[in-house]
Structure 1
Amino acid sequence: MKPAGMACAALTLSTCALAGGVDRTSQSLSPLFEKGAHLSVEAYASRPQIQGTDAWGQSTGQVAPRFAQWGFAYKQDVDARNSVLVMLTRPYGLDIDYDRQSSRLFGGTQARISTYELMAALRHRWTERWAVHGGLRVQRSEGHVALNGLAFGPLNGYRVDFAPSTRPGYLLGLSYERPEIGLRIAGTYYSAIKHHVTTRETLRAGTTTTDSNSPQSFTLDLQTGLTPCTLVFGQIRWSQWSQFQLSPQAFAAATQGRGLTDLEDATTYTLGLAQKLGQQWSGFVALGYDPQSGKTPLSPLRPSSGRVGYTLGLSYQHERVKITPWISYQRLGATDVSSTRTPMAHFGQSSATAVGVKLGYSFE
């Protein structure tokens, strides 16, 4: 049994929109396992629908704007045993915006955090089945947070701007393959990346410095053939989001050491099935799961808890070109939010819809 190549093994963005809170790509290394020289470009647009009611009975309005993601990867064989990969992605992001004309408790609260990551990795096969991979990552992060509304008391009107910060990290991994049955197991560790960010706060003149860590994480990717035309695939990803602490100096001094974030370690799960539909067509379905937080209430910058995602896609291949469009529906869990320990707004079950496409080209 030798399953034909299908689109599911190359999914990077599509099964992970909104996973793990601000994780938007799952940092998949699937392009590293493509045959020969291969270029891929992927993009998606997401439309969240997150709206709640505050403690005064006022609507919060739509608090999560639409956003777009993209990434590209190029893989090249050096020789029979070694290959290299260069990848550019936007692995993490946060977009929150409370309408000023809605809730008086939270109206005007806003957060924008974006991250870009350039990665270069090398894979070495020491046998036909076992291989190691590793590489360097350079990550650039920037953003701002504004707290507005009566719920923040004396901090109403506080704003902090985070200047761009570029810092290095690394990844290390091990893989096992049996191509004759379509089996691949690949584990990858991603180091934490420590940022030292120049910040400007409304509570203090001049600039301050804020330390922030992008989380260390471990990803386990699996796939195996069930029949020559059917492939099952999955991923388990753990991220230490408790490392991600944003505590600007003036804000921490005014709040007895509190931070702007309250994220916890997260484990996300993906399980999918791909089916060959003809010589040029294949299709896939995938289910993603993100457990709900055990904390309550959560930060106003985190108006949902947990996720169940459903992804459906097709892949069409003509000679060296492969096109993979997909659509995903994410069901987001309910939660209470507050700037203190007392719930001040409730967000019921929410949702997000994402539509994307991946283009791949093989040079050999």
Structure 2
Amino acid sequence: MRTTFHLKTLAVAIATLSVASMTNAAGLDRSGQDVTAFLQDGTYAEAVYTYIDADVSGKDSANNVPSNNTYVKGGNTGDIAEAYDFFRYGVKTDINDTFSIGVLYDEPFGAAAEYKGDSNFVSKGDINASITQLTGGRFNALTVGDEITRQTGIAQSPTSTPAERAAAAATATNLSTAVAAARAEAATAGENTNVEVRSESLTGILGMKFGANKEFQVYGGPVAQRIRADVKLRGLAYGPATGYTSTSNPDMDYGYIAGISYSKPEIALKAALTYRSEIDHDIDIAENYPLLAVRALAAGATPAQAAAAANRKSNYEVTTPESVNLDFQTGINPTTLATAKVRWVPWSDFSITPPLYNDVSKLNPLYSENGLNLVDYDDDQWMVELGLAKRVAPALAISGTVGWDSGAGDPTTSLGPIDGYYSVGLGAKYNVTENWAVSAGGKYLWFGDAKGRLPTGKIVGDFQDNDGYILGLKLSYQDIK
């Protein structure tokens, strides 16, 4: 005799999982771009609030010489992770037994980090101490000028060998850059390194069921996405880039979603594979690079000319990555549901390359061909989460999840030094009425250790033994005819 698991009785257990299963630590991933609201039966609507609080701290590097990439354990960075929250909404209804429509809103990508305290990611403003650190303790503000003159003389002397001239020229350039970086840091004394990225996404979906029992469904539709970002690099950890500031104005652009699902109501089985496209953003950006102003003044420019050299308004392209989500559930018995989620995002293809930042990096012969990205990642992200939900009373269900996120590589950007996580989550849902329900959930995360790296490859921080938690609250409505 075949056992039947009616979705009506399991509905209380199905939706509770998503409250505690919504964030990812790789790259800029935040919401996981969940589409399960559209996969619910009948008419369904939800409003979800998520709060994230992480503790990400480590040690900076005591080596602030830009040309030396060796990591030397330094002082405490303090907690750099800013508390972060976002909303998600979804509504879906069946037009008839073949067609369904839905609209989803989420905030898919984001970042919020700030270095505070006395680390090398905060501008101190002491030119003499900065020159000493940037030159590895060899010089200070009184002696570095004489050494630059001496090395320049060797580089220009006809009695020097070609090798001596090349070495002296490189040394003079490095020392001049250290002086300029120290003066650039002084211009932003007391300021912290800070990054904030926010995004919003609105997805329209049309689904069509087919098959002998309408067990298959194909779905897809347009996606409108808005993104903005603010970045401040401060402190000797960033070497010549200290003081760099950029503001990327909000930009709206468009992509698409497509997927296929299968359901077998007799055992409460549902499986869905969802693809989201890349979205190309052409973003207006304002950048300020103090190093250019210092160099312009040293070359005899007026203050107005120096300010103009250090500021630029332009535009650049950022492509948010494509992704694939697999959502699976099946009934184990009439009151218990098992779920699995898998997500893939190719963060190794993603980069943020502000034009002025990139152009300045090309002044270094090592990066003269393509310059440097401000942010990029080495690896693709894989996320896996398994869960169980059980109806323990006619109006109450509880759930639990375990998860793993691969991260996007280690070392990674100093603006988000996390290499994936392991997680456990708990959730509960209470049906206030036959149609209305309130869900609450939480997740605890153990973050993977990561080294913070500059675009040059220099390791400037080591972040270990970090963790965080997520809290979610959801109000939902469902009417299954």
When normalised by structure 1's length, the TM-score is: 0.95
Alignment of 1:107-256 (within 5 A): 108-127=192-211, 128-203=214-289, 204-255=310-361, 256=367
The answer on whether the counterparts of 2:348 and 2:408 sit within 8 Å (CA) in structure 1 is no
Q: Which moved more, 1:1-10 or 1:141-150?
A: 1-10
The answer on whether the counterparts of 1:239 and 1:265 sit within 8 Å (CA) in structure 2 is yes
Higher fraction of helix = 2
Number of the residue aligned with 2:459: 343
Q: Which moved more, 1:196-205 or 1:226-235?
A: 196-205
Looking at structure 2, the residues matched to 172 and 343 of structure 1 have their Cα atoms a distance apart, in angstroms, of 40
- Out of 29, 32, 40, the residue aligned to residue 38 of structure 2 is 32
Query: Does residue 306 of the first structure (1) align with residue 420 of the second (2)?
Result: yes
Distance verdict in 2 for CA 1:23–1:14, change over 3 Å: farther
Q: Deviations over 1:71-99 (max 9, x none)?
A: 11111211121111111111111001111
1:41 counterpart SS class: strand
Looking at structure 1, the residues matched to 17 and 280 of structure 2 have their Cα atoms a distance apart, in angstroms, of 28
Looking at structure 1, the residues matched to 457 and 29 of structure 2 have their Cα atoms a distance apart, in angstroms, of 26
1:91 counterpart SS class: coil
Q: Deviations over 1:162-213 (max 9, x none)?
A: 0111001001101111011011110011000000111111034341111101
Aligned AA (2:472):
G
Number of the residue aligned with 1:81: 98
Number of the residue aligned with 1:281: 396
Higher fraction of strand = 1
2:221 counterpart SS class: strand
The answer on whether the counterparts of 2:280 and 2:319 sit within 8 Å (CA) in structure 1 is yes
Looking at structure 2, the residues matched to 282 and 247 of structure 1 have their Cα atoms a distance apart, in angstroms, of 47
Q: Deviations over 1:90-115 (max 9, x none)?
A: 1111001111x320345611110000
Number of the residue aligned with 1:290: 405
Rg comparison, structure with higher value: 2
Post-superposition offset of 1:38: 1.9
Looking at structure 2, the residues matched to 331 and 16 of structure 1 have their Cα atoms a distance apart, in angstroms, of 15
Query: Does residue 329 of the first structure (1) align with residue 346 of the second (2)?
Result: no
Higher relative contact order (CA 8 A, sep 6+): 2
- Out of 430, 439, 447, the residue aligned to residue 316 of structure 1 is 430
Looking at structure 1, the residues matched to 262 and 54 of structure 2 have their Cα atoms a distance apart, in angstroms, of 37
Aligned AA (1:184):
K
Distance verdict in 2 for CA 1:10–1:214, change over 3 Å: farther
The answer on whether the counterparts of 2:25 and 2:407 sit within 8 Å (CA) in structure 1 is no
Gaps of 5+ in 1: none
Aligned AA (1:2):
F
2:21 counterpart SS class: coil
1:210 counterpart SS class: strand
2:398 counterpart SS class: strand
Give the percent of matched residue pairs that are identical in Structure 1 and Structure 2.
27
Number of the residue aligned with 1:102: 118
Distance verdict in 2 for CA 1:220–1:18, change over 3 Å: closer
Looking at structure 2, the residues matched to 11 and 277 of structure 1 have their Cα atoms a distance apart, in angstroms, of 15
Looking at structure 1, the residues matched to 23 and 37 of structure 2 have their Cα atoms a distance apart, in angstroms, of 19
The answer on whether the counterparts of 2:259 and 2:273 sit within 8 Å (CA) in structure 1 is yes
When normalised by structure 2's length, the TM-score is: 0.72
Looking at structure 2, the residues matched to 140 and 7 of structure 1 have their Cα atoms a distance apart, in angstroms, of 33
2:37 counterpart SS class: helix
The answer on whether the counterparts of 1:213 and 1:243 sit within 8 Å (CA) in structure 2 is no
Gaps of 5+ in 2: 63-73, 124-191, 290-309, 362-366
Number of the residue aligned with 1:43: 49
Distance verdict in 2 for CA 1:266–1:251, change over 3 Å: same
